[in-house]
Each structure stands twice: as structure tokens, then as C-alpha cells.
């Protein structure tokens, strides 16, 4: 089976690529940094160095994959993303656009490129790595929340439009996973948020402390937990629309069904 996985430098993408390769999948991977590309090459992958928002390079990648696989792509795992922390009123339009460009628009472009191949061959699997923050919102995560809510809406709609075909879509919704996500989010926070002139300047210290911690909380799982659900989405005869990962996702998925918005807000505001 041929699969394309985006965002394989570290964490979820890196683990998924290696595990699927060990199972006999032919795995095509992407990474942005040259040192990560070198490592993935050394690990035996066909790797493409690109920022997924550079669409001409995405086109070239798909052209190459088509040549190497005789026009066949069995599965796509969209994973390359980042989180932009900060209060909504401290986010410039440009910063919000940047978040959506990577987490939504580039995924939409890659999904449609994959879909054109899958339409021709008559089957395929598209798995989107979403988040518990695609189910519920939490304060100071608005840009990321919005991008994942948008991703979920696009994926749900596409699943309806593909009903009756042999092309299946699934969302994976992890809570805290032991990756570089927090470190990368902290860098984006310092780059794009004017802390000193924000009405949330004191509150932000809590966010900085949270993102600076190297020690995971008690609910954090390793990337293997996501890979486990990815394999289910790839191999099930009737894949689910959503696969939860980590206790917080199960908890908030349940609470969203049974609590009023007001009660749920009281819990989420502490998040």
C-alpha cells in the first residue's frame, strides 16, 4: 500500500512513517528542515523537502509520486501543522491567515490532489490528524481551535460528498501527545504576540509556563497512540468518521454531548 504522510520531522508523523514502513507500507514523507530530510533519507524513505504551503512544490511532489507508483496512491495522512497561541484580540489578521494557510488551506490542497488520484483508481483512504481542539474550544488557543474546527467541517462535508464511493475519510482527534508541539507553539507565541501591551499580559505567564514544560502531564500519551488509531482507519472495512486519542478527548467528547454550553464553558475556561 502506498501512503503519503505530511509532517514527518518528529513526533506523530515520524513514528507513523516508521511503523507503517515496518509493516510493509510504501511510505512517502515530507519535512521542512534539511537535517530532518537527511535523517529520513537515511532511514530509507522517499522524502520531499517542502513547506506544504508552497503549492508548486506540492504539485511537483505529486507528479513524482505518480511516476513512482504508476499513478496509485492508496492513502493520505495529513499531519503537518502547528499551533498559534494567543488571545483572539491579540491575533492580527496576518497571523490568523498564516495559521489557516498551513492547517487548513494546504491540507485542502493536498487532499484534493490525492482525491483526484483516488477518484481515478476508484478507492482510497484520507485521514486527517485533527485535535481535541477540533471538538471543543479553549481560551488562548483561538487560532488553532478555529483551524481545526474548519478542518473538521471540510472533512465532514467531503465525507458526505463521497458517500457511496470507496474513498473513506476519517478524523483522528488527539489530546496531549508527547511531541515538539508545545515548543513550536511557544516560538510562535513569542514571535507573533505582543505580550507587554496585551490586557492578558499577566495571564499569559501561565500559558508561557505551560508551553515551556518539558514534563508531560498525566494524560499525555506517546505518538504510538495516534499511530494505533491511524492503522485502524487504514485497515478497517468500515472506518469510523472519528477516532479519539487520550483521555481528555474521550472526556470532552462525552461532556459536549451531555452538558449545556454554559456548563461546558465553565469547565473549558479552566483549560
Domains and CATH numbers, the chain: 2-268 (3.40.50.720)
Question: pLDDT tens digits for 135-158?
Answer: 999 999 999 999 999 999 999 999
Split at pLDDT 50, 70, 90, the class of 45 is very high
Q: Which of 144, 204, 243, 244 is catalytic?
A: 144
Is it the case that residue 84 has pLDDT exceeding 90?
Answer: yes
Place of cell 514502513: 21
Q: Distance between CA atoms of 250 and 132, rounded to whole angstroms?
A: 9
Q: How far apart are the first and last CA of the chain?
A: 40
Contact 10, 180 (CB under 8 A): yes
Element spanning 4, H or E: strand 2-5
pLDDT score at 270: 82
Residue 12's closest CA among 186, 222, 231, 182?
222
173 three-class SS: strand
The grid coordinates of residue 254 equal: 462525552
Residue 110's closest CA among 173, 160, 174, 65?
65
Q: Distance between CA atoms of 125 and 12, rounded to whole angstroms?
A: 18
pLDDT score at 214: 62
Is 144 an annotated catalytic residue?
A: yes
The grid coordinates of residue 1 equal: 500500500
Q: Distance between CA atoms of 234 and 217, rounded to whole angstroms?
A: 29
Question: pLDDT tens digits for 234-255?
Answer: 999 999 999 999 999 999 999 9
pLDDT score at 216: 62
Question: pLDDT tens digits for 177-231?
Answer: 999 999 999 999 999 999 999 999 999 988 888 888 765 678 999 999 999 999 9
208 three-class SS: helix
The grid coordinates of residue 52 equal: 506544504
Q: Distance between CA atoms of 269 and 173, rounded to whole angstroms?
A: 20
**What is the pTM (predicted TM-score) of this model?**
0.95
Amino acid at each position: 500500500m502506498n501512503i503519503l504522510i505530511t509532517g514527518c520531522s518528529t513526533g506523530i508523523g515520524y513514528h507513523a512513517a516508521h511503523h507503517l514502513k515496518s509493516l510493509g507500507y510504501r511510505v512517502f514523507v515530507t519535512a521542512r528542515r534539511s537535517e530532518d530530510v537527511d535523517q529520513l533519507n537515511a532511514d530509507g524513505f522517499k522524502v520531499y523537502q517542502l513547506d506544504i504551503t508552497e503549492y508548486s512544490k506540492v504539485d511537483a511532489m505529486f507528479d513524482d509520486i505518480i511516476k513512482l507508483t504508476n499513478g496509485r496512491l492508496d492513502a493520505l495522512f495529513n499531519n503537518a501543522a502547528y499551533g498559534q497561541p494567543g488571545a483572539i484580540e491579540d491575533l492580527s489578521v496576518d497571523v490568523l491567515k498564516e495559521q489557516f494557510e498551513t492547517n487548513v488551506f494546504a491540507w485542502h490542497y493536498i487532499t484534493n490532489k490525492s482525491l483526484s488520484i483516488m477518484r481515478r483508481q476508484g478507492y482510497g483512504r484520507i485521514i486527517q490528524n485533527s485535535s481535541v481542539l477540533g471538538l471543543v474550544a479553549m481560551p488562548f488557543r483561538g487560532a488553532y481551535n478555529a483551524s481545526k474546527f474548519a478542518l473538521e467541517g471540510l472533512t465532514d462535508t467531503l465525507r458526505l460528498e463521497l458517500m457511496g464511493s470507496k474513498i473513506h475519510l476519517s478524523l483522528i482527534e488527539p489530546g496531549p501527545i508527547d511531541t515538539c508541539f508545545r515548543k513550536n507553539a511557544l516560538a510562535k507565541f513569542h514571535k507573533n504576540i505582543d505580550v507587554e501591551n496585551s490586557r492578558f499580559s499577566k495571564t499569559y505567564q501561565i500559558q508561557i509556563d505551560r508551553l515551556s514544560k518539558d514534563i508531560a502531564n498525566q494524560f499525555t500519551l506517546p505518538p504510538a497512540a495516534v499511530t494505533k488509531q491511524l492503522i485502524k482507519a487504514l485497515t478497517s472495512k468500515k472506518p469510523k468518521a472519528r477516532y479519539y486519542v487520550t483521555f481528555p478527548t474521550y472526556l470532552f467528547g462525552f461532556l459536549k454531548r451531555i452538558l449545556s454550553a454554559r456548563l461546558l464553558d465553565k469547565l473549558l475556561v479552566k483549560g
